[in-house]
Chain A
Amino acid sequence: MIISVASGKGGTGKTTVATNLAVSIESDIQLLDCDVEEPNAHLFLNPVMEQKKTVYAPVPEIDETKCNFCKKCAQICRFKAIAIIKETVLTFPELCHSCGGCMAICPEKAITETGRELGVVEIGRRNHIGFVHGRLRVGEAMSPPLIREVRSHTRSDQPAIIDAPPGTSCPVIAAMRRTDFVLMVTEPTPFGLHDLKLAVEAVKLLGIPRGLVINRSDIGDDGVRAYAEKENLPVLMEIPFDRGIAEAYSKGKLVVEEMPEWNEPFRTLYLKIQEIVG
């Protein structure tokens, strides 16, 4: 079973939920931090890193001695990563989405692939938790291929929790698709509700079962609850706005370790998800 933890709005508590859920379950489990633009699950889990590898995206390299300047590569590129000007070929690797179209269409076989560094994947462990995360190279704009690389380390013999990035765009889809359940974390504020609605629509398109955690549940208004009821989105857990939880977070500590009474609610959350997924 793969559970992705997502939210429309940032800062609602995805990482808090993902890390504490993983630690509260005492059997073997993986945690994959797919928020590669700003991974932070490792700050709470402190895994011992065992492996690190650099990930590259294939981008075109053009041999101008073979090129006949026919422009077929520039025409097929949806992302305008190639421009042919007179007898000069300009490539813009940062726009390339690595589809391979230019290489396939080139009649002169003048295009080969070279690599653009996307970032690194680090693999480690903390007790029963197998940990994987990605770190996007500073300056790189395209995260989905790195997210897919992080996810390629998912094991089939144990459950996995994916900490997804916020929002509803390509990186979020890359982190959520083909998971068995999306656990959505929100706060009961107008901002939280606005972005939750967008995220729920995205998850619906993917056709994945979903449930809600309301964080800082005793602030804000009733908008999120009313929406959840209307959408048949089960509220699986509520976490109050609590100074102890905030202090634990601010020190990079786990709630379930600083306040052990929270183990039970997180385990219950996991059981409820298991029940829904079946």
Chain B
Amino acid sequence: MKIAVTSQGTQLDSLVDPRFGRAPYILIVDTDTFDFEVLDNKENVNAFKGAGIQAAAMVNDKGASVLLTGYCGPKAFQVLNAAKINVADNVEGTVRDAVASFNEGKLTFADKANAEAHW
């Protein structure tokens, strides 16, 4: 299964970025093999508006079924919900640890956004 993790860097040992839409990278990690693909989120980092919407669409396009991140706003959550992507928020530590925690069933999925909309 492929899951998306917001990341401050391009490695499994990089720290999870607490922001979803404006995280510098999003790693798409295979939960069995820990193989991963790095998505450069540069375009959304500097987006004028709608970074979360765009990042959510990108995660959907990559076929991830779960997102691990820190904070997720209402518009991004709406898109992820439409894409049937489960969101585990308030995730901290390295990307590797986050995926391991997910594999061990330690993370719970959010049923709503945990950040306010902003302009």
A interface, CB within 8 angstroms of B = 74, 78-81, 83-86, 88, 90, 92, 95, 141
Contacts and interface: CB of A to CB of B under 8 A. Distances in A.
B82 A85 contact: yes
Top 8 A-B pairs, shortest CB-CB distance: A80-B50, A85-B83, A85-B82, A80-B53, A88-B82, A83-B57, A83-B53, A83-B79
A80 B57 CA distance: 10
Contact of A95 (B49, B60, B78, B83): B49
B83 to A, nearest CB: 4
Nearest to B80: A85
Contacts of B57: 74, 83-85
Nearest to B47: A80
Given A79-B50, A85-B79, 12 more contacts: A74-B57, A79-B48, A80-B49, A80-B51, A80-B54, A83-B56, A84-B57, A85-B83, A86-B60, A86-B83, A92-B50, A141-B119
Contacts of B47: 80
A90 B54 CA distance: 12
B75 interface: yes
A129 B101 CA distance: 70
A78 B50 CA distance: 9
A84 B53 CA distance: 10
A138 to B, nearest CB: 15
Given A85-B60, A86-B60, A95 B50 contact: yes
Contacts of B51: 80
Contacts of B82: 83, 85-86, 88, 90
